């Protein structure tokens, strides 16, 4: 899929290098202890100081990279602002420390700030009774739900407490970063109010996770909103980016910078439609979401139930919303899907 895109570099830089991307803007690639093993962060030269866009997790490797940069090449001028695309841990995990250490301002959408606190709390308490009930209402037996909960291994939370104070950005706002003006473009699907930043003058899109070059962003239904339709939110968001110029330089949070925005948007739309069609074809009788997740994500369901189960339900809810499946809730709250 990515073969049709034009990448600005042939291979990724080394972790922690300060890469001159465009005038006044730098690319810093950070390692992640995840299947997706890196995140791209951006530093914009404001003149008297810097704006950082996203900051990575709270890991020793990432801490050491930022510490080296701020004591070295960046030491002459302060970090003035930390601007965030969304509140997933690989983007916001170190934010609380950075804000406290540098005494810089923070910008992000309201729903993302709130979601950051929710996710921090959920990581702290782990799989709780709410999530167990969520799985049971969607088809897991009591034994299966408790077994999955018990299989979750305690591990160090790769994030610190989110910043307590922030400046809210909203869709359509124009903000100054690095001697450029950037329009905020918010979108749902991957997260509640994901913010991308578009410079119209130079046709640069800081895309975050909303438009990635090599993979598709995860789209899941959370236990907090089991009736939601994030897949529709995500597909609707693609039309907003199609309004941007086709020669826009896209700076994704994972993968390489590229040209070919409209091509990539079409690929993403086709990918999700194909996945939806495949799932609709699999369902020939009444099924529970848990049974579908167990078939598609048998191993991942035990390792990362929020991802496996949430992604399955996102596709099922979408198919029900367009009439390809029928969604039924019985008087006990149990949810099933069947061919329409």
Instruction: Give residue for tokens 């800081």.
Output: 206
Taken in order 275, 281, 282, 284, the sign of the CA dihedral is positive
Across-strand partners of 20? 26
Q: Indicate the pLDDT class of residue 156, thresholds 50, 70 and 90.
A: low
What residues contact residue 243 under an 8 Å CB cut-off, 6+ apart? none
Q: What is the pLDDT of residue 126?
A: 67
What residues contact residue 228 under an 8 Å CB cut-off, 6+ apart? 221, 222, 317
Are the beta carbons of 54 and 253 closer than 8 angstroms? yes
Element (H, E) at 90: helix 89-92
Element (H, E) at 197: strand 194-199
* Higher local confidence (pLDDT), 120 or 70: 70
Percent of the chain with pLDDT over 90: 84
Q: Which of 123-137, 149-163, 218-232 is the least confident region? A: 149-163
What crossing angle do the helices spanning 305-321 and 289-296 adopt, rounded to 10°? 120
Q: What is the pLDDT of residue 150?
A: 82
Digit-coded pLDDT (tens) for 212-249: 999 999 999 998 899 999 999 999 999 999 999 999 99
Q: Indicate the pLDDT class of residue 89, thresholds 50, 70 and 90.
A: very high
Are the beta carbons of 113 and 267 closer than 8 angstroms? no
Token pair in block for residue 233: 């939110």
Topology of 2-281 in CATH? Answer: Metallo-beta-lactamase; Chain A (3.60.15)
Which range among 71-80, 118-127, 285-294 has the greatest average pLDDT? 285-294
Q: Indicate the pLDDT class of residue 303, thresholds 50, 70 and 90.
A: confident
Q: Which of 76-85, 147-156, 170-179, 210-219 is the least confident region? A: 147-156
Q: What is the pLDDT of residue 269?
A: 97
Mean pLDDT (the chain, rounded): 94
Are the beta carbons of 63 and 83 closer than 8 angstroms? no
In the chain, how long is the greatest CA-to-CA distance? 65
CA distance 168 to 20: 29
Over range 161-167, report the average pLDDT. 94
Digit-coded pLDDT (tens) for 14-72: 999 999 999 999 999 999 998 899 999 999 999 999 999 999 999 999 999 999 999 99
What residues contact residue 232 under an 8 Å CB cut-off, 6+ apart? 318, 321
Q: Indicate the pLDDT class of residue 152, thresholds 50, 70 and 90.
A: confident
CA distance 149 to 244: 44
Q: What is the DSSP letter of 222?
A: -
Q: What is the pLDDT of residue 160?
A: 82
Q: What is the DSSP letter of 257?
A: -
Q: What is the pLDDT of residue 154?
A: 62
Q: Which of 169, 59, 62 is nearest to 113 (CA)?
A: 169
Q: What is the pLDDT of residue 155?
A: 62
* Higher local confidence (pLDDT), 305 or 176: 176
pTM: 0.95
């Amino acid at each position: 899929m990515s073969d049709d895109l034009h990448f600005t570099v042939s291979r990724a830089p080394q972790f922690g290098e300060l890469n001159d991307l465009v005038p006044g803007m730098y690319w810093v690639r950070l390692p992640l202890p995840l299947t997706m093993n890196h995140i791209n962060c951006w530093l914009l030269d404001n003149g008297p100081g810097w704006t950082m866009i996203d900051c990575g997790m709270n890991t020793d490797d990432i801490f050491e990279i930022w510490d080296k940069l701020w004591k070295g090449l960046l030491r002459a001028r302060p970090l003035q602002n930390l601007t965030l695309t969304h509140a997933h841990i690989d983007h916001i995990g170190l934010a609380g420390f950075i804000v406290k250490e540098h005494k810089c301002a923070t910008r992000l959408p309201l729903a993302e700030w709130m979601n950051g606190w929710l996710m921090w709390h959920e990581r702290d308490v782990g799989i709780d009774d709410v999530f167990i009930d969520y799985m049971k209402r969607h088809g897991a037996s009591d034994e299966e739900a408790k077994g999955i909960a018990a299989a979750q291994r305690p591990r160090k939370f790769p994030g610190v407490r989110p910043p307590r104070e922030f400046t809210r950005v909203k869709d359509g706002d124009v903000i100054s970063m690095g001697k450029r003006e950037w329009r905020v473009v918010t979108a749902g699907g991957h997260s509640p109010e994901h913010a991308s930043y578009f410079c119209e003058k130079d046709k640069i899109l800081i895309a975050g996770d909303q438009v990635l070059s090599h993979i598709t962003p995860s789209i899941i239904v959370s236990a907090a909103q089991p009736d939601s339709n994030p897949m529709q939110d995500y597909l609707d968001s693609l039309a907003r980016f199609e309004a941007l110029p086709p020669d826009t330089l896209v700076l994704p949070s994972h993968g390489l910078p590229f040209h070919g925005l409209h091509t990539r948007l079409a690929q993403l739309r086709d990918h999700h439609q194909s996945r939806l069609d495949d799932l609709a074809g699999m369902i020939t009788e009444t099924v529970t979401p848990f049974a579908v997740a167990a078939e598609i994500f048998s191993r991942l369901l035990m390792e990362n139930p929020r991802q496996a189960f949430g992604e399955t339900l996102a596709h099922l809810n979408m198919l029900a919303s367009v009439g390809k499946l029928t969604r039924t809730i019985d008087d006990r709250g149990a949810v099933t899907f069947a061919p329409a």
